[in-house]
Structure 1
Amino acid sequence: MQDNQQSGSSAVTRRRFLGTALATGAATFAAPAILRARNLNERLNIAIVGSGGRGGANLNGVKSENIVALCDVNENNLNAAAKKHPQAAKFTDFRKIYEDPNKFDAVVVSTCEHTHAFATLPALQLGKHVYCEKPLTYNIAEARKIREAAGRANVATQMGTQIHAGDNYRRVVELIQTGAIGDVSEVHVWVSRAWGRHDSLEAGQEAGDPYAIAERPLTTEEVPTGLNWDLWLGPAPKRDFHSTYFPGPKWYRWWDFGNGTMSDLGSHWIDLPFWALNLDHPLTIEASGPQPHPEIAPASMQAVYEYGARGDLPPVRVSWYQGTYKPQMWHEEQIPRWSSGVLFVGDKGMLLSDYGKHVLLPEEQFAGFTPPEQSIPKSRGHYGEWIHACKTGEPTTCNFEYAGWLTEANHLGNVAFRTGKKLQWDAENMRATNAPEAERYIHRDYRKGWSLT
């Protein structure tokens, strides 16, 4: 793969090749010699960075391999994982793992969003395979850096969008790409989760937010026993401990640590049109919602992306809705009122999907419709796909080339929301040409002692 900033057309060509590679079994990179020489039954040596919460789930997903290192800033999580993997070395600072790179072949990163890039980049620079939980990075600049580093490293990478491995997404992609509903001009993506800032604590509780908060707490609390709060903060600005931020997923609504529902669930739901329509970078992004808060991501908002033509594919508008926002057709009951969904609008019909099911609309129009022959093979499982890629060099479906563009796009929705402008996006130079104030959301300064080089 090439690195450096890529044009949209070359990126799309690469992703189309990846789709072909998955269907034919072609490899997109060569596995390192040390792995090519191995029997496929020989286990990888894997370092686990983050072992609680999502980290525990990801650890369980790769437990068939040889777990040689465990790291967590919370010793309670660390010790619980060590009981199941007593042979693994224990760390609280993931930077220490990389001081002895001969001990491991691959890394699974499941830290909080604001430290993903810091745990991932050194692994790529050492030529290690990496699985990283979604979203890939905290901001756009980090996503670009990680995507390019992965291209140079030429290793197996996978972002943790587990639903991507499901059969339903594969069937939807086949339907869209074989023209079942014709040329797609619009996509509407909505999720009902309403976590983030509300006008009041009561409003948040009414919206079903289990961690509802309206403002930053004015008090501080004692750091829980076993938690290294300074390491948890990592590159983020210094602030005193409070249970409003920890444990997860409380932190994800705070701009200092995460980017709310847009980057979190967007990784799963926008993934489907991204895959089906060969998307990469938008031309413009516009967002609407409540008045942006300086510290807390919104519970409800909307973002609209305009994508240009991609090869023989026409321009398309992708609209995102979260919380109380829904497509007009949903409100008017022109489509089934699913709580979350992806609606593709083509010139020959529509397709509505969620994680596990899909339907062609209007249903009477597609009565007796014969779906295309399955061309995308069944997944080995999201973890199995990555492990197999580590050992053979075969492609993964959510590699960092693909996931990097998806992550950038999701973050752009928040950048547009926070600036309050319709952004004209120059992807090659990674800047909003009409909004220099967006720079503070594309990049950020790190706390003393932390750098991403």
Structure 2
Amino acid sequence: MHLPASQPNPSRRRFLTQAAAVTAIAASSPIKLRAAANDQMNIAFIGVGGRGGGNLNSVAKDPSVNVVALCDVNRRNLEKAASQHPKARTFEDFRKLYDDANDIDAVVISTSEHTHAYATMPALRLGKHVYCEKPLTHNVYESRAITKAAADAGVVTQMGTQIHATSNYRRVVELVQSGAIGNVGEVHTWVGRAWGLQSPEDAKANRDIVSVQEMPTEGMTPPEYLNWDLWLGPAQYRPFHEVYFPGPKWYRWWDFGNGTMSDLGSHWNDLAYWAMKFDAPTSIEAFGDEPHPEIAPASMSAVYEYGARGDLPAAKHFWYQGSHKPQIWKDKGIPQWGSGTLFIGDKGMLLSDYSKHVLLPEADFADFKRPEPFIADSPGHHQEWINACKGEGETGSPFSYAGPLTEANHLGNVAFRAGQKILWDSEAMKITNMDGERFLRRMNPREGWSLG
């Protein structure tokens, strides 16, 4: 696959200036602290089942954390969490939680993807610190709105990409940025998971993929413990059906999630985005089966073009999911890891997954001396957020970083759904070679649901 190199342009330079300004605002804004570092920090938790339950348990184990409010549309989840934190106020509707939030210092948000932005925006406007699960938002427009709101609020933020805090990722970033493999012109990221509409190729390969049926023709009665209307949130009403709920089924439906890309892309593309200092792509093209109007693909691939970034040259980032893999992987030119990120430089290659990495060809790096670590190890993804909320250190994935990363991930799906290569003007938040507005935002949120 060969695409012409992207050229830096005035719009792109304006984006870099704008991004620097947003970062400066976030850095200079006063952090809103209720109490000194050793005092209790009152935290509300929105979404307390599954991933939310894990976040609750991890954050609440810090002795300085006081759980003051719990919210979930699933009564079973809410009752379980309330039994562990009986003094906390309980809610089904997070909009009501914000009606009286004077005693809340910070909010942890672990709802379904399509309501992340709607639960996050009120917290930012009230000056609360926020931890939000990945992906940060459901679409490009929401990512931009949340990034700006976080900068305006000057609070501590963190997107829930726990792998970002690992030592392995930090050592890979150090190797790439110190020039261990020279100038990197290509990065390839692939994941074995495929949540979405199964293709004939997937079926032939007998992959462990859950096949998703077409739109149900009839509804079902929701479980008695689930407030289906609140779960739908801003999405247009549709009758309950077991193909949507519980998770991870909803990930596959465009109205609620974005398939594998937005889910695992938050983790896997994070490494390339961090190491390569990526910002906004100038073009994106995607490949796969015919897009389905309702369901994300199980297998697809995409290529992003990034222009020069400071003294870094233009580069391409390739994404693959499901049955799609890099050609060098298919040719067995690298170890056959099921998921990984491969950096290709003019002096060698670096292959990484979550927990390990290797310089290739290994013989060429037998006597290689690693650079001294220059990225400090993390106390833990949740702990660094808690510490930062109390004025101690910074988070590794603040919304000033996580917002643009999320936008880039979403743009891969936008290109896939558009069915053609798209040219992206980040400053204007516009596709310049086609009318793709309907893929960038939720066009008609339900009444009662607005980001303002």
**Contact kept? 2:33, 2:390, Cα under 8 Å:** no
Change (3 A) 1:6 1:397: farther
Q: 1:399 and 1:6, CA in 2 relative to 1: closer, same or farther beyond 3 A? A: farther
2:16 maps to what in 1? 9
Query: Relative to 1, partners in 2 of residues 1:322 and 1:201: Cα closer, same or farther, differing over 3 Å?
Result: closer
Q: Which residue of 2 aligns with 1:203?
A: 203
Find the aligned partners of 1:274 and 1:143 in 2 and give their Cα distance: 16
Partner of 1:219: 218
Code of the aligned partner of 1:178? S
Does 1:149 find its partner at 2:138?
no
Partner of 1:24: none
Q: How far apart in 1 are the matches of 2:83 and 2:136?
A: 29
Partner of 1:57: 54
Cα separation, 2, equivalents of 1:87 and 1:238:
34
Q: Deviations over 1:236-281 (max 9, x none)?
A: 0111001111111110000010000011100000000110111110
- 2:50 matches 1:43: no
Q: Residues 200, 290 of structure 1: CA spacing in aligned structure 2 closer, same or farther, 3 A cutoff?
A: closer
- 1:295-334 map, 5 Å: 295-334=294-333
Deviations 1:385-437 (A, max 9, x none): 1001111063211000100000000000000000111111000000100011x
**Secondary structure class of the residue paired with 2:280:** coil
Correspondence 1:389-408 to 2 at 5 A: 389-392=388-391, 394-408=393-407
Within a 5 Å distance, the mapping from 1:86-101 to structure 2 comes to: 86-101=86-101
| TM norm structure 2 | 0.93
What residue is the counterpart of 2:6 in the other structure?
Answer: none
Q: Is the 8 A contact 1:199 1:214 kept in 2?
A: no
Paired with 1:176 and 1:404, the residues of 2 have a C-alpha distance of 23
Query: What does residue range 84-163 of structure 1 map to in structure 2 within 5 Å?
Result: 84-163=84-163
Q: Which residue number corresponds to residue 294 of structure 1?
A: 293
Give 1:222 deviation, angstroms.
Answer: 1.3
- Aligned with 2:77: secondary structure? helix
The equivalent residue for 2:7 is: none
Residue 77 of structure 1 pairs with residue 68 of structure 2: no
Q: Give the letter for the 2:242 counterpart.
A: S
Cα gap change, 1:405/1:66 in structure 2, threshold over 3 Å: closer, same or farther? same
1:12: how far off?
6.5
Q: Distance in 2 between matches of 1:16 and 1:348?
A: 33
Match of 1:443 among 424, 441, 444: 441
Amino acid at match of 2:445: Y
1:6 is displaced (CA, Å) by 9.0
**Any conservation in 1 of the 2:23–2:151 contact (CA below 8 Å)?**
no
User: CA, structure 1 residues 208+70, in 2 after alignment: closer, same or farther (shift >3 Å)?
Assistant: same
Q: Which residue of 2 aligns with 1:276?
A: 275
CA drift of 1:215 comes to 1.1
Q: Which residue matches 1:430?
A: 429
Alignment match, 1:258: 257
Q: What code does the residue aligned with 2:359 have? A: L
Query: SS in structure 2 opposite 1:187?
Result: strand
Contact 1:204-1:213 at 8 Å conserved across structures:
no
| Cα separation, 1, equivalents of 2:72 and 2:224 | 14
Give aligned pairs, total: 437
Change (3 A) 1:11 1:184: farther
Question: Residue 202 of structure 2 contacts residue 299 of structure 2 at CA under 8 Å; is this kept in 1?
Answer: no
What's the CA shift string for 1:311-363, capped at 9, x where partnerless? 00000000000000000000001111100000000111100000000000010
> Does the C-alpha gap of structure 1 residues 232 and 43 become closer, same or farther in structure 2, counting only changes over 3 Å?
same
Cα-to-partner distance string for 1:138-182 (whole Å, 9 max, x where unaligned)? 000000000000000000000000000000000000000100001
Specify the code of the residue in structure 1 equivalent to 2:75: E
The aligned counterpart of 1:267 is: 266
Q: 1:92 to 1:13 in 2, by over 3 A?
A: same
Q: Find the residue that maps to 1:270 and give its secondary structure.
A: helix
Shift of 1:452: 1.0
Shift of residue 16, structure 1, vs aligned partner: 9.8
- Structure 2 counterpart of 1:442, one-letter code: L
- C-alpha distance in 2, partners of 1:440/1:221? 29
* Alignment partner, residue 4 of structure 2: none
Residue 225 of structure 1, CA deviation? 1.3
Q: TM-score, normalised by structure 1?
A: 0.93
1:450 Cα deviation from its structure 2 partner: 1.2
CA gap 1:184/1:200 in 2 versus in 1, 3 angstroms: closer
Contact 1:30–1:392 (CA under 8 A) maintained in structure 2: no
Query: Which piece of structure 1 moves more, 425-434 or 220-229?
Result: 220-229
CA distance in 2, matches of 1:80, 1:146: 30
Amino acid at match of 1:32: K
Are the counterparts in 2 of residues 28 and 393 from structure 1 also a CA contact under 8 Å?
no
Residues 377 and 259 of structure 1: CA distance in aligned 2, closer, same or farther (over 3 Å): same
Q: Could you say which residue in structure 2 is the equivalent of 1:363?
A: 362
Q: Identity of paired residues, percent?
A: 60
Helix, strand or coil: the match of 1:405?
helix
TM superposition shift of 1:204: 9.5
Whether the aligned pair in 2 keeps the contact of 1:28 and 1:395 (CA below 8 Å) is no
Structure 2: distance between partners of 1:450 and 1:175: 45
Please give the per-residue CA displacement for 1:23-48, whole angstroms capped at 9, x wherever unaligned: xxxx765432533xx1x232210000
SS at match of 2:163: helix
The letter for the 2-side match of 1:354 is D
Distance 1:310 1:111 in 2: 35
Stretches (4+) displaced over 6 A: 14-18
- Write the letter of the residue equivalent to 1:426: D
Q: 2:383: which partner in 1?
A: 384
Q: Which 5+ residue runs of structure 1 have no aligned equivalent?
A: 22-26
Stretches of structure 2 that go unaligned for 5 or more consecutive residues are 1-11
Seen in structure 2, the aligned counterparts of structure 1 residues 7 and 158 have a Cα distance that, compared at 3 Å, is farther
Instruction: State the 1:380 CA deviation.
Output: 1.1
Check 1:238–1:12 CA distance in 2 against 1; reply closer, same or farther (3 A cut): closer
Aligned-partner Cα distance in 2 for 1:126–1:204 = 52
Tell me if the contact between 2:117 and 2:146 (Cα under 8 Å) persists in the aligned partners.
Answer: yes
**Aligned residue number for residue 415 of structure 1:** 414
Q: Does 1:189 align with 2:196?
A: no
Q: Are the aligned partners of 1:12 and 1:279 in contact in 2 as well (CA < 8 Å)?
A: no
Q: In 1, Cα distance between the equivalents of 2:196 and 2:302?
A: 16
